[in-house]
Amino acid sequence: MRRSSDELAKMRKAGKVVAEMHEATRAAIRPGITTRELNAIAAEVIEKRGARSNFLNYHGFPAVICTSPNDMIVHGIPGDYVLEEGDIISIDCGAIIEGYHGDAAYTAGVGQISPTAQKLIEVTERSLWAGIEQMTKGNRLNEIGRAVQKVAEGAGFSVVREYVGHAIGTAMHESPQVTNYWPGVPGPTLKTGMVFAVEPMVNVGSPETFLMDDGWSVMTADGELSAHFEHTIAITDNGPEVFTLA
């Protein structure tokens, strides 16, 4: 769907709130903090900015952010987990302003992390930006996933297939989906005013996933590390505009 400039202005505002949630949680990441405390920090930002949470109560999800450590790919529920030196932690944040949604995620290291973990984080973020570079009017949607996949697999990692990015607007998850791989067809033509959440999930090992009994936590099947980066991005006449940057 193509959004009006008025709608895009609201999404820009929602994106700024999400960016602030990133900054606040990132500043708090250290050994000894719980994922529940990180959730409380993000909730404070939502409150302070007069936004609403799109995560809370989403199909019953009980928090305003997802916190997914180490071999957890996405959708982790904040709780008693205590961050440890050497962990990596993926934090997914979202907010609604005047009915319009923002959605973005990052992965950070906790203290000193392994060279593999560091490389995984860098490559996953770079794969997201390679995807964003494809977001120009007239290009085809699935060029995004092709670019993401090239960076991730070029570094010796794999991209998750079962979970994907999405169009976003008056709902967090709108059609079409944005894969992080080339799905075999080019997909729709990108037009000015379209907005997508692009979100590569990159694994050190195999791309296979495993859903935990809590019905939310998505793990790598092989127990290897996974990272996740996401931005909400609009197609404009002058190229991509990333709404969820500070």
Residues that bind Mg ion in the complex, under the rule CB under 5 A: 92, 103, 105, 197, 199, 230
Residue 10 or residue 22: which is nearer to Mg ion going by CB? Answer: 22
Cβ 199 to Mg ion shortest distance, Å? 5
Residue 1 or residue 82: which is nearer to Mg ion going by CB? Answer: 1
Residue 83: CB atoms within 10 Å:
23
Query: 112-117 — which CB contacts under 8 Å span 24+ positions?
Result: 112/85, 112/86, 113/86, 113/87, 113/88, 114/86, 116/204, 116/225, 117/86, 117/88, 117/225
Contact between 188 and 197 under an 8 Å Cβ cutoff? The reply is no
Cβ 78 to Mg ion shortest distance, Å? 14
Task: Find the helix or strand (DSSP H, E) in which 101 lies.
Answer: strand 100-109
The size of the chain, in residues, is 246
Cβ 102 to Mg ion shortest distance, Å? 9
Residue 72 or residue 197: which is nearer to Mg ion going by CB? Answer: 197
Q: Which residues pair with 100 in a beta bridge?
A: 97
Residue 156 or residue 215: which is nearer to Mg ion going by CB? Answer: 215
Cβ 173 to Mg ion shortest distance, Å? 7
Cβ 50 to Mg ion shortest distance, Å? 21
